[in-house]
Chain A
Amino acid sequence: MIRDITIGQYYSVDSTIHRLDPRVKILGTLAYMISLFTFRDFAGYAVAVLFFALVLALSKVPFSYAARGLKPIFILMAFTAFLNLFWTDGTVFFRVGALAVTWEGLYKMIYISLRLILLVLGSSLMTLTTTPNQLTDGLERIFGPLKVFRVPVHEMAMMMSIALRFIPILIEETNRIMKAQTARGADFESGNLLQRLRNMLPLLIPLFVSAIRRATDLALAMDARCYHGGAGRTKMYPLRYRVNDFVAYGCLVAYIVILRAVVWVCPW
């Protein structure tokens, strides 16, 4: 059913990683992703892969499930790999017609592919173990200090969570309008790209009208329930760091220290 879709594909299971504060997971993922750009050695990758495997095991998310995130970026990966393989200057060791493969290219292709894979796996592990609501809460708290600079942090978080709430509703609506327009003779399937885009208009216009109407209704309903921005607002489930969260931060620091040490010591 279309209404069952979840954004970010939250994998519902109870694990140590799932129970962590979303802030730990967001900041941890960010630190992990940045750490991937700090080395080119295979020893470093060994540490990064090991760390990922450890977290994955703790999260109880099956690897096959986590690896699904790789599918959409497969083409991008193949493309970067191809470019790196053939367009890197260096010692040529193999030739296919006009294309030359260099040792440096081969090396670059491998480490860039690894980096991409780990980037995607790392970030999808975060969305697999954190509900969209926790994510918005976490982001709101992390970016909270920016309120000093008049960044509407609360408003942005609220918009994000409302968007998440309405995605399934609008998808359902799209289907309904599509059926209604098909019944009136609209054709969404044939023609070239331009024609198809133009044929989308009878779908998009009612959809926008309806979305705007829903937004007006919702704004009224929120007003009626005393919503007046983030000031003076409390939270039903406020984010609080627990012991585990500090342990997790500790692990993260340990990972970075070990990574740096390994990269420093190992020459390759």
Chain B
Amino acid sequence: MKGLGSEKMMGESKPKPEKAKLMIDARGVTHEYSRRDAEGNVMGIIQAVDGVDLQVTPGEFVAVLGANGSGKSTLAKHINALLVPTEGTLYVDGKDTGNQENVLAIRQLAGMVFQNPDNQIVSNVVEEDVGFGPENIGVPSEKILERVEESLKSVGMYEYRKQSPNRLSGGQKQRVAIAGIMAMHPRCIVLDEATSMLDPSGRKNVLDTVRKLNREEGITVVLITHYMEEAVEADRIFVMRQGKVALSGTPREVFGKPEILEACRVELPDITKIGLGLRRAGLDIPKVVLTEEELLSCVTGSGAFPEKA
């Protein structure tokens, strides 16, 4: 890894004009690894990701769903060039992740928030942790201070800047992690089950922060999650099964196919389930209800009906 960073990409990277049409462009991405037994003999080859095609446009909010072992985390690590496809290619903002020279540029463009809040914080002071990324890409000191301030404010953690991360709650830690990525001025954030270790209020805080960044700063979001409620508000959903994209579309399209979802061991959102139950019981309710308001308006008969899927 050492010495890869060409000085050109280091330092200030201004938001570029739309160079590439797609933020993320995966073409037939396959990732294989061999499983070994205790003696190190190859037991078999596993295709964690198997020929995935996936396109995300800049500013999009995309959710990736799937059961454990469906390959969604492996796919996520490809977007940050932590893993490189064994077959196929993945472009982030037009840059091939397979090309070693692009790695640092890609990691700066597409930040990644991991599952465990404790294990991704490097420093024992909040603001110094946020400064870690900019320090790595060689941003001048005064600019780092600016960036740290601005990104801590954007996640609402500015007043904690001098504290130790050990004193923060899980949700706060994840917001610090997001700030650490925002300070690198990325165009895309990948959240790899970043809310799975949080309590409901922490989860809500983190998601609100992510949505705000998506809406206000046009950051592309790839949200990998177990929670259907989080996926409901995405622009598009990809459902993975055994390394392949089994289903994709808008939340309304995806949650309108409960049979395929069941095969993928992905559940429907609670509200959708309730809606389906009521529909079976004979109420006039569309097949896919995604939010509480929708369901309420259907039940009470007031308000606009969502289009029937």
Does B71 sit within 8 A of A, measured CB to CB?
no
Chain A residues near B86: list those with CB within 8 A.
none
Q: Is the CB of A226 within 8 A of B124?
A: no
Stretch of A43-51, A95-103, A227-235 contacting B (4+ beta carbons < 8 Å): A227-235
Supposing A228-B1, A234-B144, A236-B145 touch, asked if A161 and B123 sit within 8 A by C-beta, the answer is: yes
Does A41 sit within 8 A of B, measured CB to CB?
no
Chain A residues near B141: list those with CB within 8 A.
234-238
Does A162 sit within 8 A of B, measured CB to CB?
yes
Does B111 sit within 8 A of A, measured CB to CB?
yes
**Closest beta carbon of chain A to B101's beta carbon, Å:** 13
Q: Is the interface of A mostly helix, strand, loop or mixed?
A: helix
Does B131 sit within 8 A of A, measured CB to CB?
yes
Q: Is the CB of A161 within 8 A of B118?
A: no
Chain A residues near B43: list those with CB within 8 A.
none
Chain A residues near B140: list those with CB within 8 A.
234
Chain B residues near A238: list those with CB within 8 A.
141
Stretch of A68-76, A86-94, A183-191, A212-220 contacting B (4+ beta carbons < 8 Å): A212-220
Chain B residues near A168: list those with CB within 8 A.
166
Does A147 sit within 8 A of B, measured CB to CB?
no
Q: Is the CB of A225 within 8 A of B180?
A: yes
Does B277 sit within 8 A of A, measured CB to CB?
no
Stretch of B4-12, B32-40, B204-212 contacting A (4+ beta carbons < 8 Å): B4-12
**Closest beta carbon of chain B to A101's beta carbon, Å:** 50
Does B14 sit within 8 A of A, measured CB to CB?
no
**Closest beta carbon of chain B to A83's beta carbon, Å:** 41
Q: Which residues from 111 to 132 on chain B have a C-beta closer than 8 Å to any C-beta of chain A?
A: 111-112, 114, 116, 118-125, 127-128, 131-132
Does A224 sit within 8 A of B, measured CB to CB?
yes
Chain A residues near B112: list those with CB within 8 A.
221, 224
**Closest beta carbon of chain A to B182's beta carbon, Å:** 12
Chain B residues near A222: list those with CB within 8 A.
122, 132
Q: Is the CB of B82 within 8 A of A234?
A: no
Supposing A218-B119, A220-B82 touch, asked if A229 and B1 sit within 8 A by C-beta, the answer is: yes
Does B244 sit within 8 A of A, measured CB to CB?
no
Q: Which residues from 135 to 149 on chain B have a C-beta closer than 8 Å to any C-beta of chain A?
A: 135-141, 144-145, 148
Chain A residues near B181: list those with CB within 8 A.
225
Chain B residues near A235: list those with CB within 8 A.
135, 141
Taking residues whose C-beta sits less than 8 angstroms from the other chain, chain A's interface range is 20 to 34
Chain B residues near A214: list those with CB within 8 A.
116, 118-119
Q: Which residues from 220 to 268 on chain A have a C-beta closer than 8 Å to any C-beta of chain B?
A: 220-229, 231-238
Q: Is the CB of A236 within 8 A of B135?
A: yes
Q: Is the CB of A232 within 8 A of B133?
A: no
A226 vs B139: C-alpha distance in the bound complex, in angstroms? 12
Does A165 sit within 8 A of B, measured CB to CB?
yes
Q: Is the CB of A236 within 8 A of B124?
A: no
Residue of B nearest to A217 (CB): B119
* Residue interface mask A18-56, B partner, CB < 8 A = 1: 000000000000000000000000000000000000000
Does B154 sit within 8 A of A, measured CB to CB?
no
Q: Is the CB of A224 within 8 A of B80?
A: yes
**Closest beta carbon of chain A to B249's beta carbon, Å:** 29
Q: Is the CB of A224 within 8 A of B138?
A: no
Q: Is the CB of A165 within 8 A of B121?
A: yes
Does B2 sit within 8 A of A, measured CB to CB?
yes
Chain B residues near A237: list those with CB within 8 A.
128, 141
A104 vs B127: C-alpha distance in the bound complex, in angstroms? 56
B1, B5, B120: the one contacting A218 at CB < 8 Å is B120
A13 vs B121: C-alpha distance in the bound complex, in angstroms? 26
Does B31 sit within 8 A of A, measured CB to CB?
no
Q: Is the CB of A228 within 8 A of B139?
A: no
Chain A residues near B120: list those with CB within 8 A.
217-218, 221
Residues of B within 8 A of A (CB): 1-5, 7, 10, 80, 82, 104, 107-108, 111-112, 114, 116, 118-125, 127-128, 131-141, 144-145, 148, 165-167, 180-181, 184
- A225-B122, A225-B184 known, 12 other contacts, Cβ within 8 Å: A132-B124, A133-B124, A169-B118, A221-B114, A221-B122, A223-B1, A226-B5, A228-B3, A234-B140, A234-B144, A235-B135, A237-B141
- What would be 15 A-B contacts, judged by CB atoms less than 8 Å apart? A3-B167, A133-B123, A133-B124, A161-B122, A165-B124, A220-B82, A222-B132, A224-B82, A225-B181, A226-B104, A227-B132, A228-B1, A234-B138, A234-B140, A236-B141
Residues of A within 8 A of B (CB): 3, 132-133, 161-162, 164-165, 168-169, 214, 217-218, 220-229, 231-238
Q: Which 10 A-B pairs have the closest CB atoms?
A: A221-B120, A217-B119, A236-B131, A226-B136, A225-B133, A224-B112, A165-B124, A236-B144, A228-B1, A232-B138
